Structure 1
Amino acid sequence: MSRNGGDVVVETLTALGVSHVFGIPGQHALGLFDAIRRSDLRFVSSRVENNSAFGADGYARATGEVGVLFLSTGPGALTALGALQEAYASGVPLLVITSQVPRDGLGLRRGMLHQLDDQQRSAANVTKSTAVVRHAAEIPSALADAWSLARSAPAGPTWVEIPQDVLLEPVQLPPVTSVVTAVAGRPPRDELVAAAAELLDGARRPVILAGGGVRRSPGGPEALVALAERLDAPVVSTVGGKGAIAFDHPLSAASWIEDRHTTDLLADADVLLAVGTAMGEVTSNYFTFAPRGRLVHVDAEPRVLEANHPALAIHADAAPALRAIAERVRRREPGDGARIAADLRRSVEERLAGQDLGTELGLLRDLRRSVPSSAHTFWDMTIAGYWAWSAWDPQDGEFHSAQGAGGLGFAYPAAIAAAMGSGTRTFAVSGDGGAMYSIAELATARQHDADVTWLIVDDGGYGILREYMTDAFGQATATELARPDFVALAGSFGVPAHAATLEDVGDVVADTFTTPGPAVVVLPAVLRMFSLT
């Protein structure tokens, strides 16, 4: 059989070092899927395109590689956009390759199946770039450029469309064995580094706010710790930055960002160095944060700089910026930094102790004891997940959530893909409402024998929305849900499932880490949030 455009795609991905591809077959994309059959690439088929995108996202987060996604035209491509918003907001590198109608239908309304007026424009709001390939000879360069841009800071998804006829037509190109990539660096400007160092050298109460950009930047966590120690500055982690500095480091003030004590610490700093964060809604404790000192704001995404507060704005990737500043500032003797961090954490604990939150605190403690310290954990938009934003110590593992865009259904498909990519068992947590977004992926987990434990906290509805609406209006509307018997449903997919209680959930979860393959744990429990003030 002669080679075609689909083969050129697969050969290019192989040359880029890609090993896994996520997606769902579709009519216009069949050339891609037939070509992958003739390759060494491993294809992971989900059951819903949005979950395929979440899977590619989770794979990228767990492995540090670019997640690759195959989508079909029209409904398939559009269904993935919600998950791509999460990757775009959180800076996760994805390469999305989607099919298109044949070239003679582009831009027209010929009544072709799946045809959109402008599919490319639909993706523009949730990707770093979009492109349409019109000849097979363009494929290697188009994919290499998109791959490079996806990895370049700020990382994110890129989108390449290839019409059906380009994928199917025979090609005369030699097999692709090499590609030219150019991942752009983003070093800081020297005069800005000098100005930041001068401010920090003159600070009496410096504080560092470490965001997700620190974790994503190669060498970012190490550079963060080195600078914090040089400045003797306490470090607060955002949700995305959780784990950039170990919680047991003396200078770690943990990640209780939805807390007035943490908000006050950040606001009272005479110089606050915020790195790799937009200081957005959650990080700012719902925009109650108002800096009283000077702010130095470092980010690879220029649009977030000074978006919420005036600052010395440094457009740079986190790691090179942190290293450059560390080379300029004076080393301080250990002083109050560790005490300030410890005092903050103690104040948070005392505040929580007065709120009758024994159930929630006990659940988080039990889960933390049950899940291996090195595990990747994935948290959906659910009350347990909101608790984890602040309370979960990632220890030697990695913490992942959908906090960037806030869409439901992230945790389970992301954890499945992460388990397949990392080769280690992962842990996902969803509420019963969010679980229904990804329930079909029980089939994916079983088909691929993914080593993933899925905890479903079943409170009978959209628990956090119930709480919000009750607080705001005195009663909730449309938050209560009919749902399946999750234990029986998982069993029907051939996935072992276990009913748990608040008293034994830790032991049940721990047991799942001793056996291979997927497992589900269902916990009927009504949790409530801690007070944010």
Structure 2
Amino acid sequence: MTHDHDLVLRPTAAQTEAALNPPPGRTGGDLVVETLAALGATTVFGLPGQHALGLFDALRRSDLRYVGLRVENNAGFAADAYGRITGEAAPLLLSTGPGALTSLAALQEAAAASAPVLAICSQVPTAGLGGGRHGYLHELPDQAASFRGVVKSVHTVRAQSQIPSAIEAAWKSALSAPHGPVWVEIPQDVLLAGTAIPVVTGGDAFPEELPPRPELTAVAAHLLSTAVRPAIVAGGGVVRADASGKLRQLAETLAAPVVTTPGGKGAFPWNHPLSLRSWLEDRHTTDFLEDADVLLVVGSGLGELSSNYHTFRPRGRIVQIDADLGKLESNHPALGIHADARLALQALLETVSERDDPTAPERVRTLLAKVADRIAAQELTLEQDVLASVRRALPAGSASFWDMTVLAYWAWSAFDAGAPNLMHSAQGAGGLGYGFPAALGAAVADPTRPVLAVSGDGGALYSVAELATARQHDLNVTWLIVDDGGYGILRAYMTDAFGEATATDLTRPDFVALAESFGVPGVRTSPQTLEADLAKALRSPGPSVVVLPAVLRMFAATHLGSD
């Protein structure tokens, strides 16, 4: 008997001829770019360095588009966003030692947010591998060890024949649920040496699926079908699995209210009668979820932000679906289902019974009214007006990328993303400097729509070098910088905790003049003119900067007590 996987396609005569007579002048670097192209890559991000020159020289002989950034960490953020927007593995080309290590914070964010980034890095020559005593420039005793605790998988190449298989394995790893960053490293001499290996023309780019166990979905369907007060928490896994349509079907079938986490923004329609929106940092919402007799958590680990800073104390049963095995029951006991969100939701749709609960929309309206009253009592009109102005100025279908800044904290709770996969922030790992370089990566992924980046002045200073990248590639990104004179959120935290803040006030440049020195138009706006200025900038092709001098406050941290 012959099995499908036993079948081997025989090469044609032309393929055999090409394999036996590869074009001259190719190196190990060519094997890398050929493999990427064969797997379907069209764009790579990165920064060259001495040991990686063979890889970058090979780009010259390929059809891959190279987008070079000015700092490796920013290149990682750009690749992260490209991966989130396209759902493809985003190649990130790096050089040994300092260049590689500079990307670590970006790879941590990609890991926390499950963004598929394929980092390919050079290494010292093969003779120096594993020693750390040879005195090579950039040498580390064990470079891969610096990344092993951050990325999904590590792949070390020691010979040219290993390159196609190593990159293909890494590609599959990055795109298997849960998505994430992966690491491939190749020695300098392997990249530079000439090769007689045939041109790489094929590759299996299909990751393995992660279906749920049927006995578990049967139990979950019974629990949800017989629940009195079911509710759903939708996390980033729903967005990454492109499962928002199935989530909506299931919520409507069960008459179950849905709240989306910061990572799950847009997974459920904002104005749907069952939408609790995203007010997870709110005691009323926490109480509502605690009162659910069955809580379905899809694509979320119920971490710090999603659990209202670990104050969530469920009284009912939890059904948790997550592609990351380590997140199952990591914070609360549950019926844990290890699966891709799309496949698990489909299995539930096929097995649940329809529930009729005319009270559910009314309970949702009551909760949202409580939230609105709580915010209104705190006299935060400026903050709400600024966020509303941003929403009105941003065209439908345009993506936004938010740095760790006060306005982003508001956006996690109060911003209507409009659709899945349109609002992204650095809330996975929480590092500064994400917004602008990530927006550049998104603009590369989809040049047909303007992209918005939002930063504070502190976070903006991590990214100013990328104004040169934005101008060089003429990317359609508008960068809103909210200038409050320092690290605003840390200033608030320290003042609340210690009575005064230390090390949070910053000397900063004239951001408008700085942007214009890069050839990027800039404008200084006000809360009253923000909507018009931002809308105009977003309509104008190419990069632009809008600076809003304003000190914004956070709404009360209701997880610390009652209203």
Q: TM-score, normalised by structure 1?
A: 0.99
Pick the aligned partner of 2:150 from 126, 133, 139: 126
Query: Hey, what's the Cα distance between the residues in 2 that align with 1:412 and 1:345?
Result: 32
Q: Is the 8 A contact 2:453 2:478 kept in 1?
A: yes
Pick the aligned partner of 2:313 from 280, 283, 290: 290
Query: 1:241 matched to which residue of 2?
Result: 264
Pick the aligned partner of 2:38 from 7, 15, 22: 15
**Which secondary structure does the structure 2 equivalent of 1:253 belong to?**
strand
Please state if 1:216 is matched with 2:237: no
- For residue 342 of structure 1, report the CA deviation from its aligned partner: 2.1
Aligned pairs for 1:289-308 (under 5 A) are 289-308=312-331
Query: 2:518 matched to which residue of 1?
Result: 493
Query: 1:184 matched to which residue of 2?
Result: 208
**Which secondary structure does the structure 2 equivalent of 1:222 belong to?**
helix
- For residue 456 of structure 1, report the CA deviation from its aligned partner: 0.3
Query: Hey, what's the Cα distance between the residues in 1 that align with 2:288 and 2:61?
Result: 57
Deviations 1:180-213 (A, max 9, x none): 2341111111111111111112210000000000
Please state if 1:362 is matched with 2:385: yes
Query: 1:317 matched to which residue of 2?
Result: 340
Runs of 4+ in 1 over 4 A off after TM superposition: none
Query: 1:66 matched to which residue of 2?
Result: 89
- For residue 396 of structure 1, report the CA deviation from its aligned partner: 3.8
**Which secondary structure does the structure 1 equivalent of 2:263 belong to?**
coil
Query: 1:36 matched to which residue of 2?
Result: 59
Query: 1:168 matched to which residue of 2?
Result: 192
**Which secondary structure does the structure 1 equivalent of 2:276 belong to?**
coil
Query: 2:423 matched to which residue of 1?
Result: 399
Query: Hey, what's the Cα distance between the residues in 1 that align with 2:330 and 2:445?
Result: 36
Please state if 1:466 is matched with 2:491: yes
Pick the aligned partner of 1:378 from 395, 401, 407: 401
Q: Is the 8 A contact 2:417 2:423 kept in 1?
A: yes
Q: Is the 8 A contact 1:236 1:254 kept in 2?
A: yes
**Which secondary structure does the structure 2 equivalent of 1:56 belong to?**
helix
Query: 1:159 matched to which residue of 2?
Result: 183
- For residue 302 of structure 1, report the CA deviation from its aligned partner: 1.0
Query: Hey, what's the Cα distance between the residues in 1 that align with 2:206 and 2:547?
Result: 46
**Which secondary structure does the structure 2 equivalent of 1:13 belong to?**
helix
Please state if 1:3 is matched with 2:58: no
Query: 1:149 matched to which residue of 2?
Result: 173
Of 25-34 and 245-254, the range deviating more from structure 2: 245-254
* CA-based RMSD: 0.9
Query: 2:452 matched to which residue of 1?
Result: 427
Query: 1:207 matched to which residue of 2?
Result: 231
Specify the code of the residue in structure 2 equivalent to 1:338: P
Query: Hey, what's the Cα distance between the residues in 1 that align with 2:143 and 2:158?
Result: 15
In structure 2, the gaps of 5 or more residues are: 1-23, 559-563
Query: Hey, what's the Cα distance between the residues in 1 that align with 2:198 and 2:483?
Result: 55
Query: 2:273 matched to which residue of 1?
Result: 250
Query: Hey, what's the Cα distance between the residues in 2 that align with 1:138 and 1:426?
Result: 39
Deviations 1:317-348 (A, max 9, x none): 11111111121111123522222222222211
Q: Is the 8 A contact 2:85 2:442 kept in 1?
A: yes
Deviations 1:58-78 (A, max 9, x none): 111122221110000000000
Query: 2:6 matched to which residue of 1?
Result: none
**Which secondary structure does the structure 2 equivalent of 1:513 belong to?**
helix
Query: 2:477 matched to which residue of 1?
Result: 452
Specify the code of the residue in structure 2 equivalent to 1:152: S
**Which secondary structure does the structure 1 equivalent of 2:149 belong to?**
helix
Query: Hey, what's the Cα distance between the residues in 1 that align with 2:366 and 2:478?
Result: 36
In structure 1, the gaps of 5 or more residues are: none
Pick the aligned partner of 1:390 from 391, 413, 431: 413
Query: 1:82 matched to which residue of 2?
Result: 105
**Which secondary structure does the structure 2 equivalent of 1:147 belong to?**
helix
- For residue 514 of structure 1, report the CA deviation from its aligned partner: 1.9
Larger radius of gyration: 2
**Which secondary structure does the structure 1 equivalent of 2:535 belong to?**
helix
Specify the code of the residue in structure 1 equivalent to 2:47: I
Q: TM-score, normalised by structure 2?
A: 0.93
Query: Hey, what's the Cα distance between the residues in 1 that align with 2:363 and 2:402?
Result: 29
- For residue 291 of structure 1, report the CA deviation from its aligned partner: 0.3
Please state if 1:529 is matched with 2:554: yes
Deviations 1:285-327 (A, max 9, x none): 1011010111111111111111111111111111111111121
Of 170-179 and 78-87, the range deviating more from structure 2: 170-179
Q: Is the 8 A contact 1:5 1:167 kept in 2?
A: yes
Query: 1:412 matched to which residue of 2?
Result: 436
Q: Is the 8 A contact 1:209 1:238 kept in 2?
A: yes
Query: Hey, what's the Cα distance between the residues in 1 that align with 2:284 and 2:225?
Result: 25
Query: 2:137 matched to which residue of 1?
Result: 113
Specify the code of the residue in structure 1 equivalent to 2:279: W
**Which secondary structure does the structure 1 equivalent of 2:337 belong to?**
strand
Query: Hey, what's the Cα distance between the residues in 2 that align with 1:282 and 1:199?
Result: 26
Query: Hey, what's the Cα distance between the residues in 2 that align with 1:412 and 1:338?
Result: 38
Specify the code of the residue in structure 2 equivalent to 1:151: L
Pick the aligned partner of 1:24 from 37, 43, 47: 47
Q: Is the 8 A contact 1:498 1:520 kept in 2?
A: yes
Deviations 1:410-441 (A, max 9, x none): 00000011111111210000000000011100
Q: Is the 8 A contact 2:281 2:413 kept in 1?
A: yes
How many percent of aligned residue pairs carry the same amino acid?
59
Query: 2:530 matched to which residue of 1?
Result: 505
Query: Hey, what's the Cα distance between the residues in 2 that align with 1:240 and 1:340?
Result: 24
Q: Is the 8 A contact 2:225 2:355 kept in 1?
A: no
Query: 2:465 matched to which residue of 1?
Result: 440
Q: Is the 8 A contact 2:290 2:316 kept in 1?
A: yes
Q: Is the 8 A contact 2:486 2:505 kept in 1?
A: yes
